[in-house]
DNA sequence: GTTATTGCAAATGATTTGCACAAGG
DNA sequence: CCTTGTGCAAATCATTTGCAATAAC
């Protein structure tokens, strides 16, 4: 966890008159020990390894808190669970490419895209706040090589795209 | 319902060895009597007016069917229900601007955007399939005029953005 | 007659919430 | 102390599903 994050959280906690708890700290530590996006369930699994256990309720409450504090961004990858992105303070946009073959998710940025979207937004008579592009695409690897490691892995885990479980 | 839609559906039904039922027909009629996007619940309400009632189960099953047939596109507007778009055969992309003030949703197209996204996709080593851009923006109307009819309406209906109900 | 379709009610599954108890400050 | 935080179990809520009864073809 960067001091930047720590400070922002402390400020938020003070501002709102909230308190520090070991459960919350443990969750926050795990979240910001990586800059990969994750789901509530991913986080739950990571916490199992730790000795610092907490309930799912607390986990969800902490996720809401961090989102409200502006330290986490909720993103939607098209399945039925919310994905959270911790490392977005440097990234103004959230653009994802999801492979329809293997489910691989690639996060990317593109200056041209942002400029263009800003133009479009203003042209429509609005003021830009946030943007997220979601591209579904086919894995070139599968098309050209006839196989794709991600796909194999995904099948092993029973996680083929689309990942809707309902 | 355009003959184009009718034919495509008939073909699909025949191809899959399915059958024609009055319930399904009624639902399909209501859906394609407009080209506005809608949620399962919107559709349910519209059907109440008709004498052709069906169960929610059939409604959902029909939505899946039409999506599979390529006559409906599922889109995600950021709330917790799926939105369906019937009029997309002419529209290759799904770009939405959602106003964070009043919740108004504007669907738009932009040639530059599509070209750019195709480039980005290929650059990342994929082949483009589908894209959807979601822009959150502020209502200029509210900023400049100090009021926005959509917002007033939305408040009356208790539907302020974000529309998560859970 | 088969086999797909329907309606009902029950199941699902991620997320939220009420409540009594625990614990920061 | 006083309030916020926690864990538990129960509640939500859109959507799905099992099943027996119906209805296409």
* pLDDT for A20: 93
Contact B127, A143 (CB under 8 A): yes
Give residue-wise pLDDT tens across range A36-70: 889 999 999 999 878 778 999 999 999 999 999 98
* pLDDT for B129: 82
* pLDDT for A93: 67
Contact yes or no for B100 and A137 at CB 8 A = no
Contact yes or no for A110 and B124 at CB 8 A = no
Long-range contacts of A154-161 (CB under 8 A, 24+ apart): A154/A102, A154/A103, A159/A103, A160/A102, A160/A103, A161/A98, A161/A99, A161/A100, A161/A101, A161/A102, A161/A103
B150–chain A Cβ distance below 8 A for any pair: no
Most B CBs within 10 Å, among A118, A126, A150, to test the B interface: A126
Fold of B92-156: Dna Ligase; domain 1 (3.30.1490)
Backbone angles phi, psi at B148, to 5 degrees: -150, 120
Which distant-in-sequence residues (6+ apart) come within 8 Å of B103 by Cβ?
A: B150, B151, B154, B159, B160, B161, B163
Task: Compute the nearest-CA separation of A57 from chain B (Å).
Answer: 14
Q: CATH for B3-75, among 1.10.287.1080, 3.30.950.10, 1.10.10.10, 3.20.20.70?
A: 1.10.10.10
- In chain A, CATH 1.10.10.10 covers 3-75
Which of A108, A112, A132 is closest, CB to CB, to B124? A108
- Label residue A114 by pLDDT band (50, 70, 90): confident
- Assess whether B23 (CB) lies less than 7 A from strand C: yes
Contact yes or no for A97 and B121 at CB 8 A = yes
Which of A97, A124, A133 is closest, CB to CB, to B108? A124
Which distant-in-sequence residues (6+ apart) come within 8 Å of A106 by Cβ?
A: A96, A97, A99, B124
- In chain A, CATH 3.30.1490.190 covers 92-156
Q: What is the pTM of this model?
A: 0.77
A120–chain B Cβ distance below 8 A for any pair: yes
Place of tokens 């263009």: A116
Q: Which nucleotides of chain C does any protein CB come within 7 A of?
A: 3-9, 12-18, 24-25
Q: What is the mean pLDDT of each run of 10 residues along chain B (166 residues)?
A: 86 93 94 90 90 90 94 85 80 77 80 87 85 83 69 58 54
């Amino acid at each position: 966890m960067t001091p930047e994050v720590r400070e922002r959280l402390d400020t938020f906690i003070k501002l709102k008159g909230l308190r520090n708890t070991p459960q919350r700290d443990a969750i926050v530590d795990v979240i910001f020990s990586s800059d990969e996006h994750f789901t509530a369930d991913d986080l739950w699994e990571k916490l199992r390894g730790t000795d610092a256990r907490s309930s799912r309720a607390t986990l969800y409450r902490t996720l809401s808190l961090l989102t409200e504090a502006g330290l986490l961004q909720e993103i939607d990858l098209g399945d039925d669970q919310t994905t959270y992105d911790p490392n977005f303070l440097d990234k103004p946009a959230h653009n994802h490419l999801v492979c329809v073959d293997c489910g691989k998710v690639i996060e990317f940025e593109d200056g041209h895209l942002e400029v263009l979207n800003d133009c479009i937004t203003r042209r429509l008579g609005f003021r830009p706040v946030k943007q997220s592009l979601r591209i579904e695409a086919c894995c070139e690897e599968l098309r050209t090589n006839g196989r794709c490691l991600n796909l194999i892995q995904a099948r092993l885990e029973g996680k083929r795209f689309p990942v809707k479980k309902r």
